[in-house]
Structure 1
Amino acid sequence: MSRTVRETFIEQLRTLGMTSVFGNPGSTELPMFRDFPDDFRYVLGLQEAVVVGMADGYAQATHNAALVNLHSAAGVGHAMGNIFTAWKNRTPLVITAGQQARSMLVGEPFLFADQATELPKPYVKWSCEPARAQDVPAALARGYHLAMAPPRGPVFLSVPVDDWDQPTDPDQPLEPRTVSTAVRADPALLDEVASALARSRRPAFVVGAGVDVEGAFEDVVTLAERHRARVWVAPLSARCSFPESHPLFAGFLDAERDRIREQLAGHDVVVVIGAPVFSYHVEGTGPYVARGTALFQLVDDPATAAWTPTGTSVVTSIRLGLRDLLSGPEPAARTAPAPRVRPARVQPDGVISEAFLMQTIADLRPEASIVVEEAPSSRSTMHDHLPFDRSETFFTCASGGLGHGMPAAVGVALARPEQQVIALLGDGSSMYSVQALWSAAREELPIVFVVVNNSAYAALDRFAQHFGISKPVGTSLPGIDFAGLARDLGCSGVTVRRPDELAAALTAALAATTPSLVDVHVG
């Protein structure tokens, strides 16, 4: 007898290494998991944004696409914020959503998706509702390879509920295939970049998330040391792409045109690697870099290269591009720039400052631990007092949307059980996907959730000053008991208000074998 679409689909997932399913099931998804296989794991999230956030963290940490299972139109709608974030994070996801039976789609049945493939656009690379049930396995194969191709990202499959029990088309080829995703740049363009670097008097690199995503962390270090070049982090970068304690580390570019021009002033050659030129948060005027500065970009996304406003863009796999630059001509003799002056250590003065919190986390966390951050108002303080020096030890949200960090930490912890995971969260952002605490408890993951509790959407309070607003509305968040919420959802929870309590609370949480939340009131 022919195998069913479901049986073939499951076997494909097994071959692709996608045996963890992140979902929140609904009626139209139930037949997909009839006779759920023993070698698969279903990771349940209590809300669809949590589901996508967990899958995002898991996919980034495993370097493979993750499977997401959502419920029809309503479930996809709930998940859209984190689908947008996965798109900006360049995270490979295969998102499936149920659809009502094909025989009912001529009308408007209950819990169906009208124009299902249009709903997640434009934040998926490809969206498909197969024309026949027999085409579902082929759609999975195509979707997986598209999700994994640079620039990586989510794809979407809408599958009618009655497709799963249909027989597979025996004539449709579904053998595992190897699809090359590496892109080598035009050699002449890379020679131009290498020659400019060799002649430069004062070069600089700007590194973005693409460096860490492609495993090119050490290549950037080698290239920077060879050229004695300062290394800046691109605005709003979502990964650690250069060791922040390195003498050549220059700091973090601000997300505004005028400040970036000031920060890069004096460099005659700037090479942006694995990042846009540039991501801005406020309006600016004038040139993008100082006049007389030659700007080059290495990026794996032709669309990003196309909208880059100035300089020379080279479309290439980051790792291959860097290795080609390393084989370029020897640089001119130049003196290494003076190292960045790091902020002095902070002393407590009766209340816990954000700086003291970040410093204490830096002192106590294991060297190889992973921090998943979503505390926007505290990020600049984190940059000053909580440095990251290893590849794949820092993850954050590239979109600016809230609700990703807490579930993403769960996904990272599932993928990296040998490493300590710390979720560093604002009090406002914690509430967007707080159901992730239940999933962490259910999976018995020893995550430490640190809530930076300032009882406000503090990032908005600060940004309001940009618009001359002295009293923004809707930014106060008093009275939320995060430790109590954690306990109610199956985690341990403790509230910390005094500096002398902080180290002991964090030490106990780091030593725990189950998830812990430390609600830190800062002032």
Structure 2
Amino acid sequence: MNTSTTHGAGVQSAVTVRDAVIDLLRRLRITSVFANPGSTELPMFRDFPDDFRYVLGLQEAVVVGMADGYAQASGHAALVNLHSAAGVGNAMGNLFTAYKNQTPLIVTAGQQARSILPFDPFLSSNEATELPKPYVKWSIEPSRAADVPLALARAYHVAMQEPRGPVFVSIPVDDWDQPAHSVEPTQVSTEVRPDPHALQQLGAALDACRRPAFVVGASVDRAGAWEGVVALAERHHARVFVAPMSARCSFPENHRLFAGFLPAMREKIVAALAGHDVIVALGAPAFTYHVEGCGPHVPEGAALFQLTEDPSVAAWIPTGSSVVGNLRLGIADLLARPAPTSRELPLPRAARPRAAPTPLMSVAFALQTLAEVRDAADIVVEEAPSSRPVMQDYLPITKTGTFYTMASGGLGYGMPAAVGVALARPGERVIGLIGDGSSMYSIQALYSAARWNLPITFVILNNSRYAALQEFAPVFGFAKTDPVQGTDLPGLDFVALGAGMGCKGTRVADPALLKNVLTAALASREPAVVEVIVA
């Protein structure tokens, strides 16, 4: 059973709110604060303890993105400190992403002094607890200063309880020096074992079927169920697809049973799964769609099962059966069943042809080269939406905990998340694979990477446009030759931008030079920008 600690008001002599909060955070092993400073937050950081670190982001979206990457890579809640209403507003895009990523974040924000709140003062947040909704699991502004430590203790437990996610605590500026009591540890389970009867039905269907398919999503990797899913797929000779828009890698993409990536379109999902009589979605919604579709949600004659830790996802499954509970525990229980009768192995996925060098470098060649020079243990943090299908073909991810992207579709996550991942996994090489358009949403993250001298190589694929929008436009009636307003991005210089924030950089357009440039950047153990000019 996975547990977390806190709670229970102590009876010690009174200390300040600041003292009690710092003590609580230390007990919870939360000693990194991801923040952008503001006046209503300053008292929190007076006499800042030596065993804590303040990770500065130059914009609030960067702050939340860094904390998101850190929490995901560490598997533990991260603390965010934002300025009152304006700062929370700036952070909302990446707060939405953290919610979709199921990232446990404790987000605190300053509030004006309680004594002047009735007068609508400057820098106050009129409805502080409503501002971040609905993209936090819980939101509070404690009624009394003395209640702040307990509110943060509860916030921690709510954030860590599956399905995990961000929570929000608004703290008036004059609370920090008020008397409070320390918060002593308790334990709260954060995982729920799936119902044995429901798992029995799922297991029986798997045992009896002829041609099973698994559809894996981010929660497999998030829950530490990677090895269990591999073992279950091998036991049942099941083909394994990746769910649409999955934000983690949950199955080795070089495995004999790996079948590829499902698109976010109903008809194409049904076509890809055709011929399978039992389909089991593991740690993924069944299914995430991006455009309107019609017809059945699964192939005719197929039975659909879903194992998810999120009851809200289970509630809208369009057909079939859902089992709610922790993925790692559920997979372990399925593996504890007697081994089924062996069935024939499915045919392997066809290999992709190699990408050839061309005068104007293709994305496929760029990512194929990156795959050849990186170590399989290097961590890839990706935000290059138009290049993702090519990445899925030419940059296979083969190890658990080595791939992160945004589940929300919102931009501005990837660059700061790479910083957070590197802070959480010291000594490991991180590759930020970012599109040129995406990078400009949170380019300030380069400053934080340089400030902490992190081993991150930011590979920026520069095609001088918002390619994803141009390529998606025909779905909404554009002719292929029609211009799409606001989607061209000429004249950006990422080497210069990186240099201005302390990161060395190289621009490469010649395919013959790319391998050496990437090799040198990855070997440097310093933050670096590699701007790759692609078609």
The 5 A counterparts of 1:33-182 are 33-169=45-181, 174-182=183-191
d(CA) in 2 for partners of 1:513 and 1:482?
20
d(CA) in 2 for partners of 1:229 and 1:146?
35
1:230 maps to what in 2?
239
Indicate conservation of the 8 Å contact 1:194/1:329, yes or no.
no
> Which residue identity lines up with residue 532 of structure 2 in the other structure?
V
Indicate conservation of the 8 Å contact 1:427/1:453, yes or no.
yes
d(CA) in 2 for partners of 1:246 and 1:513?
30
- Note if 1:309 corresponds to 2:318: yes
Give the CA deviation at 1:421. 0.1
Indicate conservation of the 8 Å contact 1:234/1:278, yes or no.
yes
2:14 maps to what in 1?
2
> Which residue identity lines up with residue 88 of structure 1 in the other structure?
K
d(CA) in 2 for partners of 1:50 and 1:293?
44
- Note if 1:420 corresponds to 2:420: no
CA displacement, residues 136-183 of structure 1 (integer Å, 9 cap, x when unaligned):
00001000000000000000000000000001147xxx2111101221
- Note if 1:434 corresponds to 2:443: yes
Secondary structure in 2 matching 1:42: strand
CA displacement, residues 340-367 of structure 1 (integer Å, 9 cap, x when unaligned):
0121111202221100011011000112
Indicate conservation of the 8 Å contact 1:456/1:478, yes or no.
yes
d(CA) in 2 for partners of 1:515 and 1:388?
22
d(CA) in 2 for partners of 1:164 and 1:390?
44
CA displacement, residues 355-410 of structure 1 (integer Å, 9 cap, x when unaligned):
00110110001121000000000000000000011001000000000000000000
2:10 maps to what in 1?
none
> Which residue identity lines up with residue 87 of structure 2 in the other structure?
G
Q: Give percent identity, aligned residues only.
A: 65
The 5 A counterparts of 1:245-394 are 245-394=254-403
TM-score, structure 2 normalization? 0.96
d(CA) in 1 for partners of 2:486 and 2:476?
16
d(CA) in 2 for partners of 1:55 and 1:348?
38
Secondary structure in 1 matching 2:49: coil
Of 450, 469, 489, the residue aligned with 1:477 is 489
Give the CA deviation at 1:513. 2.7
- Note if 1:501 corresponds to 2:513: yes
Give the CA deviation at 1:453. 0.4
d(CA) in 1 for partners of 2:347 and 2:121?
68
> Which residue identity lines up with residue 269 of structure 1 in the other structure?
V
d(CA) in 2 for partners of 1:429 and 1:358?
17
> Which residue identity lines up with residue 413 of structure 1 in the other structure?
A
Of 396, 412, 415, the residue aligned with 1:403 is 412
> Which residue identity lines up with residue 463 of structure 1 in the other structure?
F
Indicate conservation of the 8 Å contact 1:249/1:340, yes or no.
yes
Secondary structure in 1 matching 2:118: coil
Indicate conservation of the 8 Å contact 1:242/1:249, yes or no.
yes
d(CA) in 2 for partners of 1:214 and 1:519?
35
d(CA) in 1 for partners of 2:358 and 2:398?
29
d(CA) in 1 for partners of 2:455 and 2:74?
18
Indicate conservation of the 8 Å contact 1:125/1:146, yes or no.
yes
Give the CA deviation at 1:328. 2.1
Secondary structure in 2 matching 1:197: helix
Secondary structure in 1 matching 2:372: helix
Indicate conservation of the 8 Å contact 2:427/2:455, yes or no.
no
d(CA) in 2 for partners of 1:169 and 1:382?
52
2:8 maps to what in 1?
none
CA displacement, residues 226-270 of structure 1 (integer Å, 9 cap, x when unaligned):
000100000010001000000100000000000000000100000
d(CA) in 2 for partners of 1:428 and 1:185?
42
d(CA) in 2 for partners of 1:255 and 1:263?
12
Indicate conservation of the 8 Å contact 2:428/2:455, yes or no.
no
d(CA) in 2 for partners of 1:19 and 1:217?
29
- Note if 1:454 corresponds to 2:472: no
d(CA) in 2 for partners of 1:168 and 1:210?
38
- Note if 1:196 corresponds to 2:208: no
d(CA) in 2 for partners of 1:316 and 1:287?
27
Give the CA deviation at 1:446. 1.6
> Which residue identity lines up with residue 333 of structure 2 in the other structure?
D
d(CA) in 2 for partners of 1:422 and 1:449?
6
Indicate conservation of the 8 Å contact 1:195/1:329, yes or no.
no
TM-score, structure 1 normalization? 0.99
Indicate conservation of the 8 Å contact 2:429/2:525, yes or no.
no
Give the CA deviation at 1:424. 0.1
1:22 maps to what in 2?
34
Of 213, 217, 239, the residue aligned with 1:208 is 217
Give the CA deviation at 1:327. 1.7
Indicate conservation of the 8 Å contact 2:31/2:51, yes or no.
yes
Secondary structure in 2 matching 1:91: coil
2:4 maps to what in 1?
none
CA displacement, residues 167-224 of structure 1 (integer Å, 9 cap, x when unaligned):
1147xxx211110122112211110000000001000100000000000000000000
Give the CA deviation at 1:418. 2.0
Give the CA deviation at 1:291. 1.6
d(CA) in 2 for partners of 1:169 and 1:215?
36
d(CA) in 2 for partners of 1:157 and 1:177?
20
2:5 maps to what in 1?
none
CA displacement, residues 268-324 of structure 1 (integer Å, 9 cap, x when unaligned):
000000010111111100110012100000000111100111110000110111111
> Which residue identity lines up with residue 100 of structure 1 in the other structure?
Q
Give the CA deviation at 1:333. 2.8
Give the CA deviation at 1:2. 2.2
d(CA) in 2 for partners of 1:9 and 1:334?
57
Indicate conservation of the 8 Å contact 1:452/1:521, yes or no.
yes
d(CA) in 1 for partners of 2:190 and 2:457?
36
Q: Which ranges of structure 2 fall in alignment gaps of 5 or more residues?
A: 1-12
Indicate conservation of the 8 Å contact 1:201/1:332, yes or no.
no
d(CA) in 1 for partners of 2:358 and 2:79?
48
Task: Compute the RMSD of aligned alpha carbons.
Answer: 0.8
Indicate conservation of the 8 Å contact 1:195/1:328, yes or no.
no
